Structure 1
């Protein structure tokens, strides 16, 4: 286990990354313009598919739905990668931060590859295959965050954790104002004082996630009108999105684990 000084240094490093994410980029809003222009000519069945994702996201928060990952498989994965005996989340939560970072990085690499293949495949069909690609990518995103949660010793079966993951999705794709709002909402998690009532009050956030996903597909939707470009850009866009989500999830969960360990040290003194 890390010393208090090592934990504080890790916390500072994590906070620096978070602060850097809150900086505005001049092209941030411009990247969404193509979708806003094309939205007017988008077939109605695509809009209906977006609406159905709202119901799916609500179901995920409530009970995990079809997106819930297998913790046993994750235990086996972590056991194989670390050489340690893993039978529960407590075993995982005692891993060193460096081990958690390595596990998260390896996992993110495989998930980015899967997302790229998914994007290239749906890119073949042009504009209309977005109805397949968007929910598929959302599924990969949620599973990636659940796996990162387990790697840091947190239970994705807990409804509070599923809301935290939705916040991670929001943070990864939000603009500067949105990132600050998400961090404010996550403060209760970092302080270890999140309550069921607070969680229920934040559930409306899943709607923002779904519509943000829709907006993020602006450039991809534009290029998918050109068959070959759709394949290339589909793979690139999906890979980039999962990369951002995995990075945000790793850092935000890492911060929680660091703070939990610091709180534990203070309580045991």
Structure 2
């Protein structure tokens, strides 16, 4: 294991510790407030989110939408792979910010368009990250892993810990299917509060830019650590 891999392993250990850390009082109160706010979000917004997620899960599992060719990375070191991965995260973050500003500035009707667009940006990023780490999303198991990474990034504390265990067991052949109903509920509960403010005309532009920048950054960090688990577990 080279110096970069040792550093990555240390960062991974810190990330896993953070995921497994029980939330404090502030986080629990925030969750209660979030659930209350969710009840005020228009039902048509919930419907758009649910349908977008259902379509996205179907597209990922069928491999019908996000497959693309990437550079040959088989001979690259982990450091070289992750330099490219971080470039991809930065690029998609920039795209998501521009998209968030545009849809957030328009209010409710156009703002709802942000949900499927942002999902598409996130999934495209995950497919590209998968290839950059040397995995092939043409394979069903890899597409399934991508959905677990997504769920790891945007779910409740309890679900994050459950999904982490799945990811840690992945190399041993444990590949559970995704329940899309649970998947979409976790995602909705995670992002609804911020996204509700994005639907406010004018004010929503700033919120949309910040939210999309934050969400893409979180997805990138989660993906990096999930793939590190698979690549570094055999080197410990």
For this structure pair, what is the TM-score category when the shorter chain's length is used for normalisation?
Answer: 0.7 to 0.9
TM-score by length of structure 2 reads 0.86
SS at match of 1:28: helix
**How far, CA to CA, are the matches of 1:16 and 1:104 in structure 2?**
20
Determine whether 1:111 maps to 2:111. Answer: no
Q: Is the 8 A contact 2:74 2:134 kept in 1?
A: yes
Larger helix proportion, structure 1 or 2? Answer: 1
Once the two structures are overlaid, the 10-residue window that deviates more, 154-163 or 238-247, is: 154-163
Gaps of 5+ in 2: none
SS at match of 1:213: helix
**How far, CA to CA, are the matches of 2:197 and 2:138 in structure 1?**
38
SS at match of 1:156: coil
Could you say which residue in structure 2 is the equivalent of 1:185? 166
SS at match of 2:112: helix
SS at match of 1:65: coil
**How far, CA to CA, are the matches of 1:61 and 1:151 in structure 2?**
18
Q: Is the 8 A contact 1:108 1:246 kept in 2?
A: yes
Determine whether 1:138 maps to 2:113. Answer: no
TM-score by length of structure 1 reads 0.76
Determine whether 1:210 maps to 2:191. Answer: no
SS at match of 1:227: coil
Gaps of 5+ in 1: 76-85, 87-91, 264-269
**How far, CA to CA, are the matches of 2:212 and 2:132 in structure 1?**
23
Could you say which residue in structure 1 is the equivalent of 2:15? 17
Q: Is the 8 A contact 1:134 1:214 kept in 2?
A: no
Could you say which residue in structure 2 is the equivalent of 1:126? 107
Determine whether 1:237 maps to 2:236. Answer: no
Q: How many aligned positions are there?
A: 235
CA RMSD of the aligned region, Å?
2.5
Could you say which residue in structure 2 is the equivalent of 1:253? 227
Q: Is the 8 A contact 1:112 1:238 kept in 2?
A: yes
Q: Is the 8 A contact 1:123 1:224 kept in 2?
A: yes
Over 3 Å counting, the alpha-carbon distance change for 1:174 and 1:51 in structure 2 is closer
Could you say which residue in structure 2 is the equivalent of 1:266? none
Over 3 Å counting, the alpha-carbon distance change for 1:172 and 1:13 in structure 2 is same
**How far, CA to CA, are the matches of 1:147 and 1:244 in structure 2?**
16
**How far, CA to CA, are the matches of 1:145 and 1:135 in structure 2?**
15
User: How is 1:1-269 mapped onto 2 (pairs within 5 angstroms)?
Assistant: 2-3=1-2, 7=5, 10-26=8-24, 27-32=26-31, 36-66=35-65, 68-71=66-69, 74-75=70-71, 86=72, 92-189=73-170, 192-194=171-173, 198-199=174-175, 201-204=176-179, 206-224=180-198, 226-259=200-233, 262=235
Deviation readout 1:141-178 (Å, 9 max, x if unpaired):
11111111111100111111111111111211233322
Over 3 Å counting, the alpha-carbon distance change for 1:163 and 1:8 in structure 2 is same
**How far, CA to CA, are the matches of 1:126 and 1:183 in structure 2?**
36
Shift in Å at residue 38 of structure 1? 4.3
Shift in Å at residue 35 of structure 1? 5.2
**How far, CA to CA, are the matches of 2:154 and 2:207 in structure 1?**
18
